[in-house]
């Protein structure tokens, strides 16, 4: 792994965070039902944290000499609240694995400062996974 490939992966992480922002904005507005009220409040907290994650990633990419992406990935449409939460959990789980890999790679590249900047994303993404697992009864 060289720094160029690492920056490309960080840009994919950034695009995934853009997807989270758009996906949570839609899901918090459209998921209906009394049984979902508490998870919707949690998702609104996630939404704001995703903006922090995107900002951190864009800053680290620029710091390393890259250009932060402005592409938002396509977001699948879902038939109901349960499917929306499942889509959210799948995305958070994928991001958790990405950040585990990215912190490791940053250390291997001799960039402990970048690894440190990514640590809050790692921990908050695990929290998001746990919130969604709880809501889905897993
Ligand atoms: Fe995030
Ligand atoms: Fe998240």
CATH number for the domain that contains residue 15 = 1.20.1260.10
| Parent domain of 94 | 3-135
The Cα–Cα gap between 67 and 61 comes to: 7
Which regions in the chain score pLDDT beneath 50? none
Cβ < 5 A residues, ion ligand 1: 17, 50, 53
Q: Give residue 35 CA to ligand 1 midpoint distance, Å.
A: 24
- Give how many domains the chain has, as a whole number: 1
65-96: pLDDT as tens digits: 999 999 999 999 999 999 999 999 999 999 99
Residue 92 alpha carbon to ligand 2 centre in Å: 5
Instruction: Give 99 Cα–ligand 1 centroid separation in angstroms.
Output: 10
């Amino acid at each position: 792994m060289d720094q160029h490939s690492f920056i490309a992966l960080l840009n994919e992480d950034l695009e995934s965070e853009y997807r989270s922002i758009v996906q949570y904005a839609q899901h918090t507005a459209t998921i209906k039902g009394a049984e979902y009220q508490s998870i919707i409040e949690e998702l609104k907290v996630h939404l704001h944290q995703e903006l922090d994650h995107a900002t951190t990633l864009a800053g680290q990419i620029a710091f390393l000499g890259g250009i932060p992406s402005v592409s938002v990935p396509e977001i699948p449409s879902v038939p109901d609240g349960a499917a929306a939460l499942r889509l959210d959990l799948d995305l958070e789980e994928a991001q958790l694995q990405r950040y585990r890999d990215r912190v490791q790679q940053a250390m291997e590249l001799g960039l402990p400062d970048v690894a440190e900047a990514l640590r809050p994303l790692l921990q908050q993404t695990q929290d998001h996974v746990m919130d969604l697992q709880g809501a889905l009864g897993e």
